[in-house]
Chains A and B, each alone.
Chain A
Amino acid sequence: MRSVTINRPFQGATMSEFIYLYRTNDAERRAAMSAEARQQSMQAWLEWMRDLEAKGHIKNPGNPLGTEGRVLRGKVKTVTDGPFVEMKDLVLGYSVIEAKDIDQAAELARGCPMLAGEGSVEVRPVAPM
Chain B
Amino acid sequence: MTGADTPRELDDHLFRRESGRMVAALTRIFGVHNLALAEDVVQDAFVRALEAWRMRGIPDNPAAWLMTAAKNRAIDVLRRERTARTFAPEMGRLLETEWTLSPAVNEAFEVHTIRDEQLRMMFSCCQPSLAEDVQVALILNILCGFSAGEIAAAFLTSRAAVEKRIARGKKTLAASKRLFDLVDTDFVSRLDSVQRALYLLFNEGYHGSSPELAVRSDLCAEAIRLVMLLREYPPSDTPATSALAALMHLHAARLVTRVDAAGELSRLSEQDRARWDRRLIDQGLGLFDRSATGNELTVYHLQAAIAAEHVRAASVADTNWETIVALYDHLQRLAPSPVVELNRAIAIGERDGAAAGLAALESIANRQRLAEYPFYHAAVAELELRLGYGARARDHFAAAIEVSRNSMERRFLERRVRECELLAPSS
Contacts and interface: CB of A to CB of B under 8 A. Distances in A.
Q: Does A pair with B?
A: yes
Nearest to A3: B3
Interface in B1-42: 1, 3, 7, 10, 13-16, 18-19
Interface string A60-102: 0111100000000000000000000000000011010000000
Nearest to B42: A35
B145 interface: yes
B55 A64 contact: yes
A68 to B, nearest CB: 11
A95 to B, nearest CB: 6
B41 to A, nearest CB: 12
A103 interface: no
Interface string A37-61: 1110111011001100000000001
Given A61-B55, A63-B56, A64-B55, A41 B145 contact: no
Contacts of B54: 42, 45-46, 49, 64
Contacts, number: 77
Contacts of A50: 7
B359 interface: no
B47 A30 contact: yes
A115 B145 CA distance: 26
A41 B146 contact: no
A107 B415 CA distance: 49
B46 interface: yes
Interface string A13-37: 0000000000000000110111111
A39 B45 CA distance: 12
Interface string B150-166: 10000000000000000
A89 B239 CA distance: 58
A43 B233 CA distance: 35
B1 A34 contact: no
Given A2-B3, A45-B54, 4 more contacts: A34-B146, A34-B149, A39-B15, A61-B56
A38 B55 contact: no
A42 B50 contact: yes
B52 A36 contact: no
Contacts of A92: 51
A50 B57 CA distance: 10
Nearest to B145: A35
Nearest to B218: A36
Interface string B117-153: 0000000000000000000000000000111011000
Contacts of A2: 1, 3, 57
Interface in B346-378: none
A109 B312 CA distance: 56
A2 B57 CA distance: 9
A62 B55 contact: yes
A45 B49 CA distance: 12
A116 interface: no
A1 interface: yes
A35 B16 contact: yes
A49 B150 CA distance: 28
A93 B55 contact: yes
Contacts of B52: 64
Contact of A1 (B1, B16, B18, B43): B1
A3 B2 CA distance: 10
Given A30-B47, A50-B7, A35 B55 contact: no
Nearest to B52: A64
Contacts of B13: 35-36, 39
A29 to B, nearest CB: 6
A50 B55 CA distance: 10
Contacts of A62: 55
Contact of A29 (B7, B14, B47): B47
Q: Which 5 pairs from chain A and chain B are nearest by CB?
A: A34-B147, A45-B54, A35-B15, A35-B145, A35-B16
A32 B1 CA distance: 29
Given A34-B147, A36-B15, A42 B53 contact: yes
A93 B15 contact: no
Q: Which of B18, B43, B51 has the most CB of A within 10 A?
A: B51
Nearest to A48: B54
A127 B209 CA distance: 59
A35 B145 CA distance: 6
Contact of A36 (B1, B58, B150): B150
B96 to A, nearest CB: 25
Nearest to A62: B55
Contacts of B146: 34, 36
